[in-house]
Amino acid sequence: MQNGELRTGANDGIVDSDGYITLRWHVDDVTGLDPSLTDEEARTILGTVERRHDASIGVNFDVIQTHIDNFYAVQPGAYRSY
C-alpha cells in the first residue's frame, strides 16, 4: 500500500496504510447542539475540540457541548440567541 492509502480493517473500519484511524466531526454536529453558532464559530470550536480533547475520553457530544459552553465563556459579546 502507498502512504495515505486506505484499507478496510477486520471490523470494516477504515485504517490508513500507516495504521491510523480518523474520526470525523462536522460543523453541523456543533450547530446541531447550538443552532445560533455560525459555521465559522463551529469551526473554531471543532479546532479547540481537536487540540484539547482528552484521549482517554475521546470526542462525543458531551465533550463538544462543554467546548461550546467554554466558547461562550471566553468570547466577549458572544451570546446564545435561544
Residue at 10 is within a domain? no
pTM of the model: 0.73
pLDDT tens for 9-59 read 454 567 888 998 888 999 999 999 999 999 999 999 999 999 998 999 999
Residue at 9 is within a domain? no
Residue at 6 is within a domain? no
Residue at 39 is within a domain? yes
Residue at 38 is within a domain? yes
Residue at 55 is within a domain? yes
Q: Which domain holds residue 68?
A: 22-82
Residue at 63 is within a domain? yes
Q: Is a pLDDT exceeding 70 seen at residue 67?
A: yes
- What is the distance between the alpha carbons of residues 59 and 27, in angstroms, rounded to a whole number? 14
Number of domains into which the chain is organized? 1
Residue at 79 is within a domain? yes
Residue 18 CA, chain-centre distance (Å), reads 22
